[in-house]
Amino acid sequence: QVQLVESGGGSVQAGGSLRLSCGVYRYTDSRPSMAWFRQAPGKGREGVAVLYSSSKSADYADSVKGRFTVSQDNAKNTVYLQMTDLKPEDTAMYYCAATYFLLRPDNWYRVANVQYWGQGTQVTVSS
């Protein structure tokens, strides 16, 4: 079982930066793949970024490539999402996610593959 606790959301003007944190509390030695999703009002939940547990590499949604960076500090059991050059369309509730399912570039963004969710943290970007 894994518990996830996000922090770091807030309000920022367009062009600004925010860093989200996700505390990962797990009860096994094996590390899950970690991802960030977001959900804007009236829209479905979409994958933003993923860190594969198998390869330690990352993938990103096209809409955030070059602006967002996902990283992990294993000593602190924390996953980060560094967001730069934020745009109003990045406004959403951001969720940390974890899974022990095998993730690949063609399936990491699917909500059905997530086993554990955090409670979410709001990011609001004003123009």
pLDDT tens for residues 98-107?
999 999 999 9
Which runs of E-coded beta strand occur in 1-127? 2-7, 10-13, 18-26, 33-39, 46-51, 58-60, 68-73, 78-83, 92-99, 116-117, 121-126
* pLDDT above 70: percentage of residues in the chain: 100
Comparing C-alpha atoms, which of 45, 6, 47, 43 is closest to residue 23? 6
pLDDT for position 88: 97
State the pLDDT at residue 107: 95
Beta carbons of 123 and 91 less than 8 angstroms apart: yes
- Confidence at residue 41, expressed as pLDDT on a 0 to 100 scale: 92
Find the farthest-apart pair of alpha carbons in the chain and give their distance in angstroms, rounded.
Answer: 44
Question: How far apart, in whole angstroms, are the C-alpha atoms of residue 92 and residue 94?
Answer: 6
The DSSP string of 19-38 is EEEEEEEESSSSPPEEEEEE
Confidence of residue 54 (pLDDT cuts 50, 70, 90): confident
Average pLDDT over residues 111-123: 97
What single letter denotes the amino acid at residue 113? N
pLDDT above 90: residue 27: no
Q: Is the pLDDT of residue 83 over 90?
A: yes
Considering the chain, what is the average pLDDT of its residues? 96
